[in-house]
Chains A and B, each alone.
Chain A
């Protein structure tokens, strides 16, 4: 058996080791879902059918995105960053596996574990307080595919940010820039359907929308699901290819200090 499934499996197990901590995070996600749902209900009360959605769509979106948030790691970060700063990445490069493949497998395991552990509280809270739009089995399958693609796009973006440390030596400058772009253009701050028109069209073509807005829409059954999945897959492929190219350049760039 190849090593990658093992990396993913151990990353998943690592999440499970902090069960209570994940549940606590899930409670905070539920609370934020509640707040966002109330605010969006007030918005849709003023403007019913805003952006083609109704209030029930907006409420479901609030809780589903809170359930996804940890898994697609909207707040950014990859453990690889610290290893590049400290030079430990030399050990990673020494292994007879691809650097990108290793971290991608690790991230897929982490995302699966996080989704399983942290999506319960927000979904339960939404279902009990407001009632959520529950999709049929077909749409659940589409959503699962969309979720995997969202994690791939998220990894692609975070991997590029992490590799920039090979050149910048520090991620503290680029990290907040990535955070602002992600939170704003993913639909996390406000769903993209609320954006005024030219901005909404632009945001819809950027990779960040593939993290939160697109999986949310697939869950709601709004828009063309096949087109949405193709959009995510195209960005995932582009970002992973870019990551592979930059890995090659970084490998030639790295000088390990000390002896």
Chain B
């Protein structure tokens, strides 16, 4: 574990230094990535230019969901995001070279082309979170204040687990790559909105089958002191850290199983 972390740090730093060789490109790419990431926020802004409430939630509350969802997603993307590119490595046969090196292939894939622009996308959600927190119209207790960083941390862990799970499936079903995006990018999109806009059965699916509701929705109900449309017990709102641990454990098992099943594409 310690070795893997050290290797992660070394490789990430090497890629960062490589990116810094082209400072203008690096800054422009950072700005551009931030703008692409800001589109979803612009979409929410446009919706609220026409209505005051969406699914029973006001603009500040929806932006709170947006900010926590995107902080978690961007952090997971910064840590592991390139797991998305695993399918390409498997298809092109370059994954074989990774297996020959004395570093975990997950670390190699995750740090590939590590670039500061991965963090540029954090700026907008962080700023929005700072703006909306005082406008949330909730009575702040110590527990609610503590829940905000806890939900971002567990959301990050849940998304990390999903990246690895989706990547693991690609060892077996190479062509599942496109459908995995529904889970990762789709999860990032759907957690920006209150679950009260979705149909109940759909919300049950993203609570119990794929635990996206624990990224920010359930903890947000606790922070905002709102009733759960599904009527789940109050303890569910505090379950995000436990769910995150379970998802990551499952992902670790799946990755190992996938790696064992891996067969080179040959030539």
Residues on A lying within 8 angstroms of B by beta carbon are 18, 20-28, 31-32, 34-35, 38-39, 41-43, 46-47, 50, 170, 172-173, 176-177, 179-180, 183-184, 189-190, 194-196
Q: Is the interface of A mostly helix, strand, loop or mixed?
A: helix
Q: Which residues of B contact A21 (CB under 8 A)?
A: 175, 177-178
Distance to closest chain A CB from B246 (angstroms):
23
Given contacts A18-B175, A38-B202, 16 further A-B contacts (CB under 8 A): A21-B177, A24-B179, A27-B178, A35-B186, A39-B193, A39-B197, A172-B25, A172-B29, A173-B25, A176-B29, A176-B35, A177-B35, A180-B39, A189-B43, A196-B46, A196-B50
Identify which of A34, A39, A50, A189 gathers the most chain B CB atoms within 10 Å of its CB.
A39
19 sampled A-B residue pairs with Cβ under 8 A = A23-B178, A24-B176, A24-B180, A25-B178, A27-B179, A28-B181, A28-B185, A35-B186, A35-B189, A41-B197, A43-B51, A173-B28, A177-B35, A179-B36, A180-B36, A189-B39, A189-B42, A194-B46, A196-B46
B33 touches A194 (CB 8 A): no
B50 touches A176 (CB 8 A): no
Partner of B47, one of A20, A172, A194: A194
B193 touches A28 (CB 8 A): no
A20 to B186, CA, bound (A): 20
A189 to B40, CA, bound (A): 7
A180 touching B35 in the complex, CB below 8 Å, given contacts A39-B197, A194-B46: yes
B50 touches A20 (CB 8 A): no
A190 touching B43 in the complex, CB below 8 Å, given contacts A34-B202, A38-B198, A172-B29: yes
Q: Which residues of A contact B175 (CB under 8 A)?
A: 18, 20-21, 24
Q: Which residues of A contact B65 (CB under 8 A)?
A: none
Q: Which 10 A-B pairs have the closest CB atoms?
A: A176-B32, A25-B178, A24-B178, A24-B179, A20-B175, A42-B197, A31-B182, A46-B51, A28-B182, A21-B175
A50 to B51, CA, bound (A): 10
Interface size on B, residues (CB 8 A): 37
Q: Which residues of A contact B50 (CB under 8 A)?
A: 43, 46-47, 50, 194, 196
Within 8 A of A (CB), among B177-215: 177-182, 185-186, 189-190, 193, 197-199, 202
Distance to closest chain A CB from B1 (angstroms):
33
Q: Does B141 contact A (CB under 8 A)?
A: no
A176 touching B36 in the complex, CB below 8 Å, given contacts A24-B175, A27-B178, A190-B47: yes
Q: Which residues of B contact A25 (CB under 8 A)?
A: 178-179, 181
B179 touches A47 (CB 8 A): no
A20 to B198, CA, bound (A): 29
1/0 per position for B3-46, CB-CB distance to A under 8 A?
Answer: 00000000000000000000001001100110110011011001
Q: Does B252 contact A (CB under 8 A)?
A: no
B182 touches A46 (CB 8 A): no
Distance to closest chain A CB from B253 (angstroms):
23
Distance to closest chain B CB from A199 (angstroms):
9
Q: Does B60 contact A (CB under 8 A)?
A: no
A177 to B28, CA, bound (A): 10
B182 touches A27 (CB 8 A): yes
